[in-house]
Structure 1
Amino acid sequence: MVQVCLNGTRGSADGAMVPLTPEAMAESAARAVAAGATDVHVHPRTPCGRESLSPRVLAPTLEAIRARVSVPVGVTTGAWAEPDPAARLARVREWTVLPDHASVNWHEEGAEDVAATLIERGVGVEAGIWTGTDGVGRFLDSPLATRVSRVLAEVTDTSPDTAEESARALLAELGTAHGRPVLLHGEDGGAWPVLRLAGRLGLMTRVGLEDTLLLPDGQRALSNAQLVTQALLQYDGARRRHPDGTAHE
Structure 2
Amino acid sequence: MARHADALADWDDALQGRHSLSDALAHLLRSLGAECGLIARTTPDMARPQRIALHDDRRGEPVRPLVSCFAAGQFGPALAGAAPGSLWLGHAAASPQPALAEWQAARKMRGFATLVLVSDALSRDHIEMHFRTEVTAETQAALSSLLPALTRGWTQRLPGLISRAIALQRHRIEAAGQRPILCPTNPAQLSRAEFRVCLLLSRGLALDRVAAELRLTRSTIRAHLRSIHAKTGTGSLDALLSLLLAPDQSGERQSAARQSGDGRPPV
Q: TM-score range by the shorter chain?
A: under 0.3
Q: Which has the higher helix share?
A: 2
**Could you say which structure has the larger radius of gyration?**
2
Report the TM-score when normalising by structure 2: 0.24
Report the TM-score when normalising by structure 1: 0.25
